Amino acid sequence: MAKILAIYGSKYGSTKEIVETLAKELENLKLITPAEFVREDKDYECVLIASGIYAEEIHPEIVNFVDKNERWLKQKKIILLGVCLAGQRGISYLDKLKKKLGSCIIWVGMAKGRLILNRLGEEDFTMMKIFANKVKMPFIDRDFIDPEELLDISSQINTIMKV
């Protein structure tokens, strides 16, 4: 039986790509979206929950999944990973999830993601434009995915899994 169940919410693919990259370094990991979850997945000893961040919020599918599965999730070792442009500076975007899951969380962190404007839906394009204006960030394509950062994250997770 694999050791880590990784559940991700990714609107535009960078969170998926990031978790796939981590999966290459982490032993025994099964990667799914909330829609692919089956009852047997509750047998994993550790659950990595990864989400892209949109207007400072977690992906709605992840919020729903955690709401519905809070009880058994709280009996597992939980790893929380957020993906956003702000990277580690956006750690507070995970506060609601952290509060909800509490002491079962063994690791929390952020990875820097990617934004390609012409891939965004109309609503997200407008939302992102407002956000960029609010934080005085240039409204341009960004690819901050950093392989070294991902190696560091996977090594931290491997270490914590050995404890």
Ligand X SMILES: Cc1cc2nc3c(=O)[nH]c(=O)nc-3n(C[C@H](O)[C@H](O)[C@H](O)COP(=O)(O)O)c2cc1C
- Contacts with ligand X, residue ranges (CB under 6 A): 10-15, 52-56, 83-86, 90, 113-115, 120, 124, 127-128, 131
Minimum gap (Å) between residue 159 Cβ and ligand X:
25
Least Cβ distance, residue 69 to ligand X (angstroms): 21
Cβ closer to ligand X: 34 or 90? Answer: 90
**What is the rounded distance in angstroms from the CA atom of residue 51 to the CA atom of residue 115?**
14
Q: Taking CB positions, which residue lies at the least distance from ligand X?
A: 113
Residue 106 vs 127, nearer CB to ligand X:
127
Smallest distance, ligand X to C-beta of residue 160, A: 23
Residue indicated by tokens 């270490």:
159
Whether 103 and 69 have beta carbons less than 8 Å apart is answered as no
Q: What is the DSSP letter of 27?
A: S
Nearer to ligand X, 107 or 144 (CB): 144
In the complex, the smallest distance separating the C-beta of residue 52 from ligand X, rounded to whole angstroms, is 3
* CA angle, 15 then 114 then 33, to 5°: 15
Whether the CB-CB separation of 8 and 15 falls below 8 Å is answered with yes
For strands 57-58 and 46-54, give the pairing.
antiparallel
CB of 59 to ligand X, least distance (A): 7
Which C-beta is closer to ligand X: that of 75 or that of 126? 126
Indicate the residue among 77 and 112 with the shorter CB distance to ligand X: 112
Alpha-helical (H) ranges within 42-89 are 60-73
Q: How far apart (Å, rounded) are the C-alpha atoms in residues 125 and 50? A: 22
* Residues composing the chain: 163
